[in-house]
Amino acid sequence: MKWSGAGASERAVWGLCQGSGKQPYQTVVELAGPAFKCSCPSRKFPCKHALGLLFLWATGEVSSAEEPEWVSAWLTERSTRAERSAERAEKKPGEVADPLAAQQRASRRADRVSAGMAELQSWLDDQVRRGLSGFEQRGYSELSRLAARMVDAQAPGVAGAVRRAAGVVGRGHGWPGELLEELSLIHLVVSAHGRLGELPPSLADTVQSRIGWTVETARVLAEGEKVEDDWLVLGRVIEPDDRLTVRRLWLRGVTTGRLALILNFAPAGRQLDPLPARPGELVPGVLSFYPGALPMRALLTQTAPRLPSPRPGGLNAKQALASYVESLAADPWNERWPLVLAAVRPARNGENWALVDQAGDALEVLPGVDLWTFLAVSAGDPVTVAGEWNRAGFKPMTCWDGDRPVILS
C-alpha cells in the first residue's frame, strides 16, 4: 500500500492511501476506541487500509503531525455524538433535559402551528367564497398539497383530516355533501384553535390532540386520570398501512363501565406489542388516561394476571347509537366508538348485512366485512357481539357463543 500524508497525534492516526481509483482513500483511526473510518468502498470493517495504517503506526513508521481538517472534523463529530447519547442514557424518563430549551422548542412549534392554522383558515374561507365546483378536477391535488403543508406546520392531526377530505372528492354521487361535512369539521378545529384560551381545559386538550400534539407517555403515567378496574378486552381492530400498522384495543371496565382505547403502532412488517389478554378476557389493572374532553385513549398498568370472563352485557340498537351521540357531545370529532350489542340477529342488507335487535331495530354492518364466522356462530340465533362503530357501519370484533368468546377480527 502506498501511503501519503500519514501522521499521528495523541488521539488518532491517519493517512491517504492510493488505491485503484483516482482519489486516494482517506483513512483515520481513533486510538481510544479504537474507531475506524475510511473512504474506501470495502464492506469489511475495519478495512485493510485501516489495519495497514495501524500496523505502520505500531512499528513506528508514522511520525507525529498536526491533525488535518478532515481528521479533526470527524473526531469532533464523534465526541459530540458520544456526549449526546450519554446524556440520553442518564436522563430519567419524563424528565426534560433542559427545561428552557424544551420551552423554546414548544413555543417555536406553537408559532408554526398557528401560522399553519391561519393559512388553512384563509384557504377554507376562499374555497367557500368562490365555490367548490370544479373540485372534482383540482380538489384532490389541492387538498393533498394542503395536507403536506400541514405536516410542515407540525399539525399532523389536521393533515390527516385534510387527507381524508381529499379521499372524499368525486367519490359517489353525494360527494359534495360529504366534502362539506369534512371541511366543516376541519374548520371547527381551526377556529377552536384560534380561541384555545377560552375553552374549558379538557376541551382545549382535545383540540390540541386533534391538531396532532401528543402527550408524552411518561406525563400520561404521571399526571393522567387513573382508573382501576378489571378491564374486559372487547376486541381489537388492526389497520395495516404501507408504512405504519395501527392496532386499536378496546376495553370496558367491569365495575366502572368506563370505555377505553389502547393504541399500538408498529412500522410495516414489524411485530406489534403482545396483547395484555385475549378478546373476551379480563385484565385487572390501572388505566392512565390521556387528557381530553372524551378521555378514551389510555395506558395500561397491569396489576394481576388476566382472567376469564362470562359473556358481557350489551345494548340494543337505540341505546348503542345514543351512547355514540353522547361521545359526540363531548368530542365532536370522534369517529369511532366501541359498542357491545346484546341479542342481535343477522339480516341481509342488499349485498351487505345488518344486525337486528330484539325490538326490530337494526344497525348496518360495515360493507366489505367478512361476516361468515359471525354467521356460523349465530346460525340465526341472537348473539352478543362487540365491535367498532363508525358512520359507515359496525365492524364486529368479538362475539360470544354462549359464554365462550369468539374472535372475529
Partner 1 sequence: MRGWDGLVSSALLGTERRPPRFEELPEKIQEQLGEGGLLDAAALATLYKRAGRIPLEGFTPIEPAVGADRPLPRPAAIRRLAAMLTGFQTTALGEWLRAADERGWGVPPEHLPALAEYARNRAQYRPLVVAAAGRRASWLADLNPDWRFLHDAVVESNDPAIWTHGNALQRRSWLRSLRRRDPAAAVEALREVWPAESAATRLEFLGLLFDQLSPADEEFCEAALDDRAKEVRRAAATLLARIPGSQYGERMAQRVWSHLSVSQGVIAVTLPTRVDASMQRDGIDPQPHEGLGKRAWWFRQILAAAPLSASRPEQVTMPVEGCAPEVLQVAWAEAAVRERSADWARALLTTNARTDNRTAELLRILPPDEWISAIELLRARIDLADLVGGLPVPWPAPLATFVLDHLAKVGTARNWARLASIAARAVPADVLDHPISREPTGEEDTWRRRLVETLTFRREMYEELS
Our finding on whether 346 is near partner 1 (CB under 8 A) is yes
Cβ distance 32 to 11 under 8 Å?
yes
Please state, in angstroms and rounded to a whole number, the distance separating the CA atoms of residues 326 and 323. Answer: 5
HSE of 281, CA atoms in CB hemisphere, 13 A: 13
Q: In angstroms, what is the minimal distance from the CB of 406 to partner 1?
A: 5
Distance CA 75, CA 289 (A): 46
Output 67 or 357, the one with its CB closest to partner 1.
Answer: 357
352 binds partner 1 (CB under 8 A): no
Q: Which amino acid appears at position 276 of this protein?
A: P
Is 110 a binder of partner 1 (CB under 8 A)?
Answer: no
191 touching partner 1, by CB under 8 A:
yes
Does the protein bind partner 1 through residue 349 (CB under 8 A)? Answer: yes
My answer on whether omega of the bond before 312 falls inside 30° of 0, hence cis, is no
Alpha helix (H) residue ranges in 253-361? 317-330
User: Is residue 403 near partner 1 by the rule CB under 8 A?
Assistant: no
Dist. CA 355–CA 364, nearest whole Å: 6
Distance CA 93, CA 407 (A): 36
Asked if residue 362 binds partner 1 (CB under 8 A), the reply is: yes
Where in 50-89 is the site for partner 1 (CB under 8 A)?
none
Q: Which stretch binds partner 1 (CB under 8 A): 76-84, 157-165, 291-299, 315-323?
A: 315-323
What CA–CA distance (Å, rounded) separates 374 from 396?
8
Q: How far apart are CA 345 and CA 318, in angstroms?
A: 15
Query: Between residues 149 and 187, which has the closer beta carbon with respect to partner 1?
Result: 187
Is 113 one of the binding residues for partner 1 (CB under 8 A)? no
Q: Which is nearer to partner 1, 95 or 351 (CB)?
A: 351
Q: What is d(CA 81, CA 94) in angstroms, rounded to the nearest whole number?
A: 22
Contact segment (CB under 8 A) with partner 1 among 56-64, 199-207, 252-260, 343-351 equals 343-351
Least distance (Å) between residue 40 CB and partner 1: 42
- How far apart are alpha carbons 339 and 272 in whole angstroms? 24
Q: Which stretch binds partner 1 (CB under 8 A): 128-136, 142-150, 197-205, 271-279?
A: 128-136
Q: Which stretch binds partner 1 (CB under 8 A): 21-29, 42-50, 69-77, 178-186?
A: 178-186
Residue in 96, 222, 375, 392 binding partner 1, rule: CB under 8 A: 375
Q: Are 27 and 13 in contact (CB under 8 A)?
A: no
Q: Which is nearer to partner 1, 22 or 348 (CB)?
A: 348
Q: Indicate which single residue of 124, 218, 221, 246 sits in contact with partner 1 (rule: CB under 8 A).
A: 124
Separation of alpha carbons 246 and 397, rounded Å: 15
Segment interacting with partner 1 (CB under 8 A) among 106-114, 122-130, 159-167, 282-290: 122-130
CB of 252 to partner 1, least distance (A): 21
Please, is 97 exposed, middle or buried when counting C-beta atoms within 10 Å of its C-beta (0-12, 13-18, 19+)? exposed
Nearer to partner 1, 67 or 182 (CB): 182
Count the alpha carbons within 13 Å of 182 in the hemisphere toward its beta carbon.
21
To which residue does cell 500496523 refer? 55
Q: For the window 243-282, what string marks contact with partner 1 as x by the rule CB under 8 A?
A: ----------------------------------------
- Look-up of cell digits 369534512: 182
Question: Grid coordinates standing for 156?
Answer: 399532523
User: Residue 328 interacts with partner 1 (CB under 8 A)?
Assistant: yes
Report the site for partner 1 in 147-176 (rule: CB under 8 A): 176
Alpha carbon of 117 to those of 112, 203, 247: distances in Å? 9, 18, 29
Among 222, 238, 376, 392, binds partner 1 (CB under 8 A): 376
Three-state secondary-structure class, residue 349: strand
Interface contacts to partner 1, rule CB under 8 A: 124-125, 128-133, 176-177, 180-181, 183-185, 187-188, 191, 317-318, 321, 325, 328-329, 332, 345-349, 354, 356-357, 360-364, 372-373, 375-377, 379-381, 391, 401, 404, 406-407
